[in-house]
C-alpha cells in the first residue's frame, strides 16, 4: 500500500475541503441509470460474468483519477491504487461475506482472481470485514434483487470517510436499451456534483471501449 501526502495548502480544492471538514461535514451521493447494453452483449458472447466485468470497469474508472483515491488519517492522502470490496450473498442464510479483491489493470488477471475470490467466499458464512488492514479498498455492492430508482448511504456526521461507496442494481430494458441503476457516494470534502456525475460518464465511456475492443 503506497500513497502520497497531499499538501492541504496547495490542494486545488482547499476551500471546499476546509468547509466540508470543519463547517459542514457531509457526503454527497447520486443515483443514475447507465447504458450497459454493450457490456451485456460482450459478456454473453465471451461467456464471461457480467458482474465481474462491470466490477473491473468500475475499479478502472475509480483508479483513473486522484479525486477517487483519496484517504484521510492525520493527513490528507492519495493512494496509488484502490481495490474493490465486493460482497457474496448466501441464499441459505440470507447474509453476505465481504471479499477483498485486488485491482489489476490487466483484465484477464483481475477477472481470474476476482472470480476465485467469490468462489472462496462461498465456502464461509463469516462477515470477514477488516477495514483497518484494508484502508485503500472501496465498497462495491451489487443489489441483485431490484432495479431501483434511488439509494442513500448514511454515515455519521463528522466521520471523514473518503473511500467511494458504489452500489448498483438489476438492469432492465428501457426503449430497447439495457439500463442499470448505479449509486455513487463520496465525501463532500473531496468531491462535488461534477466529480460524482463524472463517474457515470466515465463508466459508460469505459463500457463502450471495453465491449468493442
Residue position matching grid coordinates 477483498: 100
Whole-structure pTM value: 0.96
What pLDDT was estimated at residue 154? 78
Q: Which of 77-91, 142-156, 177-191, 193-207 has the lowest mean pLDDT?
A: 142-156
Question: At a CB cut-off of 8 Å and minimum separation 6, what does 151 contact?
Answer: 29, 31, 143, 167, 169, 181, 183
Q: Which tens digit of pLDDT belongs to each residue from 7-43?
A: 999 999 999 999 999 999 999 999 999 999 999 999 9
What's the CA gap between 42 and 80, in Å, rounded? Answer: 30
Q: Is the pLDDT of residue 157 over 70?
A: no
CB atoms within 10 A of CB 131: 13
Q: Which tens digit of pLDDT belongs to each residue from 16-25?
A: 999 999 999 9
Average pLDDT, the chain: 95
Asked if 206 and 57 count as a contact pair (C-beta separation under 8 A), the reply is yes
Q: What's the residue count for the chain?
A: 213
What pLDDT was estimated at residue 158? 63
Query: Average pLDDT for residues 48-53, to the nearest whole number?
Result: 98
**Domains of the chain, with CATH numbers?**
3-211 (3.30.559.10)
What's the CA gap between 92 and 134, in Å, rounded? Answer: 28
- % of the chain with per-residue pLDDT over 90: 90
What pLDDT was estimated at residue 213? 83
Report which of residues 68 and 73 the model is more confident about: 68
What's the CA gap between 129 and 141, in Å, rounded? Answer: 14
Asked if 116 and 100 count as a contact pair (C-beta separation under 8 A), the reply is no
Asked if 56 and 110 count as a contact pair (C-beta separation under 8 A), the reply is yes
The 8-class DSSP code of residue 20 comes to I
What pLDDT was estimated at residue 160? 86
Question: Is residue 137 classed as helix, strand or coil in its secondary structure?
Answer: strand
Q: Which tens digit of pLDDT belongs to each residue from 120-155?
A: 999 999 998 998 899 999 999 999 999 999 998 877
Asked if 182 and 201 count as a contact pair (C-beta separation under 8 A), the reply is no
Query: Average pLDDT for residues 65-86, to the nearest whole number?
Result: 96
Amino acid at each position: 500500500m503506497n500513497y502520497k501526502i497531499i499538501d492541504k495548502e496547495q490542494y486545488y480544492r482547499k476551500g471546499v475541503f476546509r468547509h466540508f471538514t470543519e463547517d459542514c461535514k457531509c457526503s454527497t451521493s447520486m443515483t443514475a441509470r447507465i447504458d450497459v447494453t454493450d457490456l451485456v452483449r460482450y459478456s454473453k458472447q465471451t461467456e464471461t460474468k457480467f458482474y465481474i466485468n462491470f466490477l473491473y470497469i468500475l475499479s478502472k474508472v475509480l483508479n483513473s483519477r486522484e479525486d477517487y483515491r483519496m484517504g484521510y488519517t492525520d493527513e490528507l492522502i492519495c493512494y496509488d491504487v484502490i481495490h474493490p470490496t465486493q460482497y457474496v450473498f448466501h441464499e441459505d442464510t440470507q447474509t453476505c461475506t465481504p471479499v477483498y479483491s485486488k485491482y489489476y489493470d490487466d483484465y484477464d488477471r483481475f477477472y481470474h482472481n476476482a472470480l476465485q475470490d467469490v468462489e472462496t467466499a462461498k465456502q464461509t458464512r463469516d462477515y470477514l470485514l477488516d477495514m483497518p488492514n484494508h484502508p485503500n479498498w472501496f465498497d462495491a455492492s451489487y443489489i441483485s434483487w431490484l432495479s431501483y430508482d434511488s439509494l442513500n448511504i448514511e454515515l455519521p456526521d463528522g466521520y471523514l470517510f473518503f473511500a467511494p461507496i458504489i452500489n448498483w442494481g438489476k438492469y432492465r430494458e428501457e426503449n430497447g436499451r439495457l439500463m442499470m441503476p448505479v449509486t455513487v457516494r463520496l465525501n463532500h470534502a473531496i468531491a462535488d456534483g461534477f466529480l460524482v456525475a463524472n463517474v457515470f460518464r466515465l463508466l459508460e465511456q469505459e463500457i463502450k471501449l471495453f465491449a468493442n475492443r
